[in-house]
Amino acid sequence: MSHDLSQITKDLGSTHKSSKELEKKLKDCRAKFFEAVDEQILSSETLARQTITVPEDVEPEAYVKQFHPGWRVVDPGSKEHTYIIEEDPSFKKFVYVNHDDGNVYRRNVSQAGPSLDNERLKEEDPDLWKRISVSKVQRVRVLKDMEEISNKDLAAMQEYFVPGPMTVKLDAPRKAKPDELDA
């Protein structure tokens, strides 16, 4: 038994080491792919732009990250506290059909659902916060079930919702369909 266990653990250790090396190589290749995709997008697309107003005493990049995920600050605007933002190419979906290996490579982007900015709500409208939350152990308040909140309070809460963060991932490469190879 110990001989079998010795060989099994030896194989396990070797395989584990190889898997870590492959994980690192995959991570590096993924980063190179994403970098090349960003360059391709920048050279072939016109990114959308918009002007936004950032509250006083707020760092513009942090504000854009929280309230405009998928965008980035490119320039100060023409008025005080305004900034020009544009789509961030690193958060754009992209599909590449490699005719050499016959596979499709896809960068996918997803966004989490919105969340309530509790801190800002507590600070700006403490009465609303008390109406929509319940006290739990050690003076911690948690949001009530949405069905227990009045329509008026639900409407007032809307300005305190912030968009969810965005996530970029590499879908598993797949074989290209004939029509994808012909395009």
> In angstroms, how far apart are the furthest CA atoms of the chain?
78
Structure-token pair, residue 53 = 């107003």
Say if pTM beats, i.e. exceeds, 0.85.
Answer: no
Residue whose token pair is 């509250």? 55
- Residue 77: the pLDDT is 81
pLDDT by residue for the chain (183 residues), tens only, comes to: 567 998 999 999 999 999 999 999 999 999 999 999 999 999 999 999 999 999 988 899 999 999 999 999 999 888 899 999 999 999 999 999 999 999 999 999 999 999 999 889 999 999 999 999 988 777 788 888 989 999 999 999 999 999 999 999 999 999 999 999 887
Task: For the chain, give every domain's residue range.
Answer: 1-43, 114-162
* Cα 48 from Cα 169, distance rounded (Å): 22
CB-count exposure of residue 50 (10 Å: 0-12, 13-18, 19+): exposed
User: For 134, how many CA atoms within 13 A lie in the half-sphere containing its CB?
Assistant: 7
* Cα 36 from Cα 43, distance rounded (Å): 11
